[in-house]
Amino acid sequence: MAEARATLLVIEDDAEIRRFLRSALAAEGYKVVESANAHRGLVDAASHKPDLAIVDLGLPDFDGLQVIRGIRGWSPMPIVVLSARAREHAKIEALDAGADDYVTKPFGVGELLARIRVALRHRARSREGVVVLVLGEATVDLEARKVTRRGKDIHLTPIEYRLLACLAAHLGMVVTHRQLLTEVWGPTHQADTHYLRIYMKQLRDKLESDPLRPRHFVTETGVGYRLVCDD
Ligand code: CA
C-alpha cells in the first residue's frame, strides 16, 4: 500500500509523546521525522517534504498556528493538529489557519491513525483526479456536476451544489463554518451560520438515507462540517 510508506513529520515538544508516536506510526509502516520545536519543524517540513505533518500547538519557541500558516504558505501537504487545546475556538483557529483536521490530547492512537489515513487518501485522490463520490444511495459526479440517488437524477440548487463541492474538496476532513460561508456565499457572510444550517438540512433531506441521523454530512459541533463518503 503506497500510503503506508508515507513520510510523516511530527512537530511536538513532548519527548514522551514523540516516542509514543514514533513507535505507533512506524508500526503502521510510516517513515517518521521528528521536530522538537516550531522553528525546527518549519525547517524539516521544507527539507524532508513529508507527505503529512502532525503539529502540536503548544510549542516552546513559537505557536503551532504559525507553523501551520508557514507550511501553508508554500505547501498543500495535509496537516493534522494534535493538541491539548480542546475548546471549539482553538480548533476553529487552527483549521482556519490551514490545518486539515484536529485531534485533541489525550488521544486514542486509533483515532489519530484514522485521521492520518483519511488525509493521505484525500491527497492521493486529488492527485488521481477522482471525481465520483459515493454517499450511500447517492452518487456525486463532480466533473459532470451530476447527482443521482438510486439511479434517479437529483436536482440541487446552485447554492446546495457549491456547498457540496466545497465539502467534497476537503473530503473526510473538517471544514469550518467560516470557510464554508466564505467559499459559498462570499466573505461578507462569514457570520451567517444559519445559512449553513438551512442548506445542510436540504442536502441531508435530498441525499441522506436518514436525514436526522446523517452518515455523510456530519456536524462537528461548534466548529463546522465534514463530508464522509463510502470507499
Ligand atoms: Ca506541547
Which DSSP symbol is given to 75? -
Q: 3-class secondary structure for 88-112?
A: HHHHHHHHHHCCCEEEECCCCHHHH
Looking at residue 1, its pLDDT comes to: 46
Ligand 1 centroid, distance to 219 Cα (angstroms)? 28
- The answer, yes or no, to whether residue 180 has pLDDT greater than 60, is yes
- Contact of 67 with 38, CB cutoff 8 Å: yes
What's the CATH architecture for 131-227?
Answer: Orthogonal Bundle (1.10)
What 8-state DSSP symbol labels residue 73? T
Residue 162 predicted with pLDDT over 80? yes
CA of 11 to the centre of ligand 1 (A): 9
Whole-number mean pLDDT of the chain? 94
Residue 32 CA to ligand 1 centre (angstroms): 18
Q: Please tell me whether residue 210 adopts helix, strand or coil conformation.
A: coil
Q: Indicate the domain borders of the chain.
A: 2-127, 131-227
Q: How many angstroms does the Cα of residue 159 sit away from the middle of ligand 1?
A: 40
Distance 82 CA to ligand 1 centre (A): 9
Per-residue pLDDT at 7 exceeds 80: yes
Q: What is the pTM of this model?
A: 0.88
User: Collapsing DSSP states into helix, strand and coil, what is residue 23?
Assistant: helix
C-alpha cell recorded at residue 40? 525546527
Distance 55 CA to ligand 1 centre (A): 9
Q: What pLDDT, on the 0 to 100 scale, is given for residue 130?
A: 73
Are 154 and 148 in contact by the 8 Å Cβ rule? The answer is yes
pLDDT digits (tens, 9 = 90+) for 106-135: 999 999 999 999 999 888 877 777 789 999
The residue among 42, 39, 106, 91 whose CA lies nearest residue 71 is: 42
226/211 Cα distance (integer angstroms): 15
Q: Which pLDDT band, with edges at 50, 70 and 90, does 190 fall under?
A: confident
For residue 228, the CA-to-ligand 1 centroid distance in Å is: 30
**Residue burial 151-175, b: 16+ Cβ < 10 Å; e: rest:** eeeeebeeebbbbbbbbbebbbbbb
Continuous segment of H or E residues that includes residue 45 = helix 38-48
**Radius of gyration of the chain, Cα coordinates, nearest whole angstrom:** 18
- With contact defined as beta carbons under 8 Å apart, do 125 and 171 qualify? yes
Give counts: helices (H), strands (E), the chain. 8, 12
**Of 112, 122, 118, the residue nearest 27 (C-alpha):** 112
CA of 122 to the centre of ligand 1 (A): 27
- What pLDDT shows up at residue 125? 78
End-to-end CA distance of the chain: 15
- Three-state DSSP class for 79? strand
In 3D, which of 142, 4, 9, 171 has the Cα closest to residue 75? 9
Q: Which CATH number fits domain 2-127: 3.40.50.150, 3.40.50.2300, 3.20.20.70, 3.40.50.1820?
A: 3.40.50.2300
46-94 pLDDT, tens digit each = 999 999 999 999 999 999 999 999 999 999 999 999 999 999 999 999 9
